[in-house]
A and B are shown apart, each in its own frame.
Chain A
């Protein structure tokens, strides 16, 4: 059972960057007016940011990291580790984190590697970097997370395209022997791996001519095997049953409840789904911020993006106890309970 505690690390800062271009679901042509209203009511997504062709997730993470390092006054040669967590890497190989080491001007003594996760990325990625800092005795690390989903969702697929937005984020983590511990619970269920999947392009199904063929699945849903496929009902069911069940077990194990946390920030998946989880865990509305209305589902960037856009002032000025939960593609889900002490949080960047 992956329930554990990490010691001696703290979050020093968080930054996020999104594309300048905004699309609105009210302008999405594949939906009727009634469907648009229903989509906004159910998913909560009104607008999304869409990257320009050729802009990669790492470009957004890089911009956010440059800004954050400057505000933190961290010297680049102090960074020991870079982790890039994403499902939209620059290349099939090499790992994007290594390219980021060079682009950020970090020393060659920096260790850098990628983690291939999506919506559950925040607790997973943070647990990896925390473990390296506390067990390997490293001092400073950058966890970069995000996805360009607009490149993999077919524009002609109303079951995916209107839901996802693009973003890149960075979390600066530092070793500090006075820091409060962080509690984690991480889970996986590979039996659900087809619920959210891009079928071709990996080794299992190599790219072929068939991969590019657009198939009409039903009215308003046309996509190829290189596009994201989402079984909304299966993911919805998983999210309103398994996720709250695991979260309840976590709260029991840590002997905490809604009153012990200032905020509960969830992966921004779907408003109806997230509200169902919120109600099951008995968190009041004011403790559960959302960024989904403006930015859509931004995959692993959703928790840091919500922190930066909805809670910036409090993160900068107050000490907060946070419950942060990611869940989705894999299926993979996890939660972390942590404490922030007046962290550095630059304004959202638009590039």
Chain B
């Protein structure tokens, strides 16, 4: 897995976002489009794609896309 691919998958799930909106340092929970339902979507995506289960607690402790990628990468290994 690499971060570009990860961002691509993430963006595909947020279909209200303009492509290119998400960057490594994007604080995704601060996006205008962010909603609590995106948390479910992200958890489901990461579970399906990477077989890693994130909790609400995990999501509350991170803010950027890179940090999200970091957790997934560590748990995956």
Contact = CB atoms under 8 A, between A and B. Distances in A.
Interface of A: 34-35, 37-39, 42-43, 159, 231-234, 236-237, 240-241, 270, 272-273, 276, 279
A241 B43 CA distance: 11
A34 B40 CA distance: 16
B12 interface: no
B21 interface: no
A231 B33 contact: no
Given A34-B33, A35-B35, A159-B36, A237 B53 contact: yes
B56 A240 contact: no
A37 B35 CA distance: 11
B48 A279 contact: yes
Nearest to A275: B44
A37 B39 CA distance: 15
A8 B40 CA distance: 42
Contact of B53 (A38, A43, A241, A279): A241
A240 B43 contact: yes
Given A231-B56, A233-B55, A233-B56, A240 B35 contact: no
A240 B43 CA distance: 9
10 contacts: A35-B37, A37-B16, A42-B37, A42-B41, A232-B40, A233-B55, A234-B56, A237-B54, A237-B56, A279-B48
Contact of A237 (B35, B43, B48): B43
Contact of A233 (B33, B47, B48, B59): B59
A118 B48 CA distance: 28
Contacts of A159: 36
Contacts, number: 51
A276 B41 contact: no
Nearest to A32: B35
B9 interface: no
A30 to B, nearest CB: 12
A240 B45 CA distance: 11
A272 B53 contact: no
Contacts of B55: 233-234, 237
A278 B53 CA distance: 17
B38 interface: yes
B16, B37, B48, B56: residue with the most chain A Cβ atoms closer than 10 Å: B37
B18 to A, nearest CB: 14
A38 to B, nearest CB: 5
Given A233-B59, A240-B43, 13 more contacts: A34-B16, A35-B37, A38-B35, A38-B37, A159-B36, A233-B39, A233-B40, A233-B56, A234-B56, A237-B43, A241-B47, A270-B40, A276-B48
A272 B38 CA distance: 11
A268 to B, nearest CB: 16
A38 B48 contact: no
Closest 10 CB pairs of A and B: A233-B56, A42-B37, A38-B37, A272-B44, A236-B40, A241-B53, A276-B44, A240-B47, A237-B55, A38-B35
Nearest to B38: A38
B44 A273 contact: yes
Contacts of A231: 56
Contacts of B43: 233, 236-237, 240
A43 B40 CA distance: 10
Interface in B15-43: 16, 33, 35-41, 43
